[in-house]
Amino acid sequence: MTAIVDVLVPTCDRPAALAVTLTALAAQTGPPLRIVVSDQSERLAGALAPEVLAVLRYLRARGIEAEVRQHLPRRGMAEQRAFLLSLATAPYCLYLDDDVILEPGLLARLHAALVAQGCGFVGSAVHGLSHLGQKRPAQERIEFWDGLVQPETVRPGSAAWQRHHLHSAANLFHVQSRAQDRADRLYRVAWIGGCVLFDTHKLRACGGFDFWRDLPPEHCGEDVLAQLRVMERYGGCGLLPSGAYHMELPTTVTAREVDAPYVLSGAAPGVQ
């Protein structure tokens, strides 16, 4: 069956977390999917770890195509994501971090929202459930979309940039827990980390992650910059309830002095 969604998973030295993330994908319903993992593990290829091999066999037995590509040397996360995008053949691609757990049915909800809106991306911000006991009402402001999602220009330091606080800790989980109506709603974002479904053509039309050549190997914020460019040209939004949960592992991107949206223009190619 031809995939409608390619799930693109960058990973490095996290075989246990990767196994959990892949297992959650087996419970997804909705459009046919294909999973592509780009593994930059240097100690032991993550795909060779017993727990990952077991899940790969399980996925394939369920009829889900899953492949792992070793991708070395490491040239930074933007290049890693660009490599994954070069492998995408489906009309939609879900960038999923290797430490995120998805609720059953989330992929179907993301796909339905993206098709209905016709925008560039719809994402599910990840909940950090270790922070459930922390209440941060000042960071829980949410701006819902009424009508179709429209293109927006968001830049570091702008008023819209402050929306990112909603995705810290368990803020979004507290917001959705108070909602009496559990129907899906879309809201305005600065960016979304960890779980974002793109229209593949629109992501490529905005340059994808080709800006990796303009960054040193040690950088961060590449996912943010790509989303800003897509959002400016086609629009993008967040999905509530989210349905994505962060494992809260230590980051594998430790050098954060070069932050892509701060050092490179956020404008998409062809957007003035």
- Tens-digit pLDDT string for the chain (272 aa): 799 999 999 999 999 999 999 999 999 999 999 999 999 987 766 667 899 999 999 999 999 999 999 988 989 899 999 999 999 999 999 999 999 999 999 999 999 999 999 999 999 999 999 999 998 988 999 999 999 999 999 999 999 999 999 999 999 999 999 987 788 999 999 999 999 999 999 999 999 999 999 999 999 999 999 999 999 999 999 999 999 999 999 877 766 788 899 999 766 665 54
219 beta partners: none
Number of Cβ within 10 Å of residue 57's Cβ equals: 11
Q: Are 116 and 122 in contact (CB under 8 A)?
A: no
Task: Return the half-sphere exposure (C-beta side, CA atoms, 13 A cut-off) of residue 68.
Answer: 23
Instruction: Report pTM.
Output: 0.95
Q: Are 35 and 22 in contact (CB under 8 A)?
A: yes
Q: Which domains does the chain have, with CATH numbers?
A: 5-263 (3.90.550.10)
Q: Decide the pairing of beta strands 244-246 and 100-102.
A: antiparallel
